[in-house]
Amino acid sequence: MAIERKVAIVTGANSGVGYSIIQRLVDESPFPLTIILACRNKSRAQEALTSLQQHFTSSSSSSSSKTRTTPELKIELVDVGSATSVLAFNARILAQHNRVDFLFCNAGILPSVGLMWGKILTDMFKAPMDLVTRSDVLIKGLEDVLSGTEEEPGRVIWTGSLTAEKASFRIDDWQGLEAVQPYESSKWVTDLLAIRLNEQWAGSSDEDVTSVHSVGGDASSAASSGSETGGVSTSTRRVTRSASKSVLVSNPTTPTTTTPRKHIISLSTQPGVVASGIGGLAAWIVLLRIALHYVVRFFGERNQTITGHHGAQSNVYVALKQPVEKLDYRYKYGSCVRNLGQEFLKVERVVEYERGQAEVVVGRLEALRQEVLAKKE
């Protein structure tokens, strides 16, 4: 009997971290995959597709890759900054697939507003909040196929940032229109969404429903391969369909919910500092930045992942981690590299998370989504 392919959607797949997510996901996956390159530009998407096909053809001839099933790669055009485009994309996916196992929310636009020569290692970026809003529309539109997987929950994986900062965010300016650091503010919203969506999909409201287990690894430095040492005790809600049969621990003053409303989990990652072309900077500045990144990393700055390959480590880790109960949605999984290039994973709890703040943001995003749907009708 043929093994059913798992389906992955990767936004921003034509370059950088998105491109590397596809490479690593296929190279490291134990199961066959259908991967949808969700890109805005058709010609760049085609270039990426051709390059990926060449990579997989070449690697399949090596002794370590002979048993791997050749991935099925598809292009679906979508502009995540356009609600109309996102809705049309969702309709095509729903018509073609009855399941989506992985949705990588990776697309990003970071137009540079100038290099601050007084702080030569710091770029000031401005990120449009529209991307977060459209990602929410994308996810909500695909909930049925994301929860259509029988054996495991569908995984929504956000590419966040280590620069996400609660101090840059104001609830009365939740879209960051007046923020001094709108990029940092929008990435904080990403962290809020990643956690709050789990709570909603679990069917929880004000209650804090969790199932307790022990994670057999050091949460601050789990290896990218999944090998783990030491011991860190954490608690996380169960996310498999058998969760309703599990023993749950909850706030004794509130009712418990044992049946997840949606068979989906949402996880936040950050790729470290990737020296990509995002930002529209001149080529010589990009080259100078890359050289400086390597110097800084050599002297011990572990967040300097530099390449998309290293940056994609955390995304692929949370996608393939087994068993899924080992993942905790209240933590952010970060890609890190030691000074000589050895990868490791940094896992940090989002300690400043406030459910009330997250509920407001999710509620306002839902109101915007309903407005978009109403206009479509």
Tell me the percentage of the chain whose pLDDT exceeds 70.
Answer: 73
**Calpha distance 189→199 (Å, rounded):** 15
Mean pLDDT for 243-251 is 29
**Calpha distance 165→181 (Å, rounded):** 9
Alpha carbon of residue 250 to chain centroid: 28
Exposed e or buried b per residue across 168-202, where buried means at least 16 C-beta atoms within 10 angstroms of its C-beta: bbeeeebbbeebebbbbbbbbbbbbbbbbbbbbbb
Per the CB < 8 A criterion, the answer to whether 267 and 156 are in contact is yes
**Chain segment 328-357, per-residue pLDDT in tens:** 999 999 999 999 889 999 999 998 999 999
- Supply the pLDDT for residue 185: 87
Does position 115 have pLDDT exceeding 50, yes or no?
no
| DSSP designation for 326 | G
266: β partners: 156
Of 132 and 236, which is predicted with more confidence? 132
- Supply the pLDDT for residue 113: 37
- Supply the pLDDT for residue 276: 67
Sheet of 154-159, strand order:
72-77, 33-39, 6-11, 102-105, 154-159, 264-270, 331-337, 343-349
Beta strands in the chain (DSSP E): 6-11, 33-39, 72-77, 102-105, 112-115, 123-125, 154-159, 211-215, 232-236, 264-270, 331-337, 343-349
Does position 82 have pLDDT exceeding 90, yes or no?
no
SS3 289: helix
- Which of the listed ranges 65-79, 213-227, 357-371 does the model predict with the highest average pLDDT? 357-371
Of 2 and 257, which is predicted with more confidence? 2
**Calpha distance 182→185 (Å, rounded):** 5
Backbone angles phi, psi at 274, to 5 degrees: -100, 125
- Supply the pLDDT for residue 313: 97
SS3 155: strand
Q: Position of tokens 């933590």? A: 331
Tell me the percentage of the chain whose pLDDT exceeds 90.
Answer: 48
**Chain segment 263-318, per-residue pLDDT in tens:** 999 999 999 998 865 556 677 887 888 899 899 999 999 999 999 999 999 999 99
CA distances from 229 to 40, 217, 220, 226, 362 (A): 42, 5, 11, 10, 37
- Token output for 308: 């998309």
- Supply the pLDDT for residue 197: 93
Mean pLDDT for 21-36 is 95
What type of residue sits at position 95?
A
- Supply the pLDDT for residue 321: 94
Backbone angles phi, psi at 19, to 5 degrees: -60, -45
CA-angle at 161, arms to 156 and 163, nearest 5°: 150
**Chain segment 177-198, per-residue pLDDT in tens:** 888 888 888 889 999 999 999 9
- Token output for 211: 């199932």
**Calpha distance 266→271 (Å, rounded):** 17
Mean pLDDT for 98-102 is 95
pLDDT band of 207, cuts 50, 70, 90: very low
Predicted TM-score (pTM) of the model is 0.80
- Supply the pLDDT for residue 214: 26
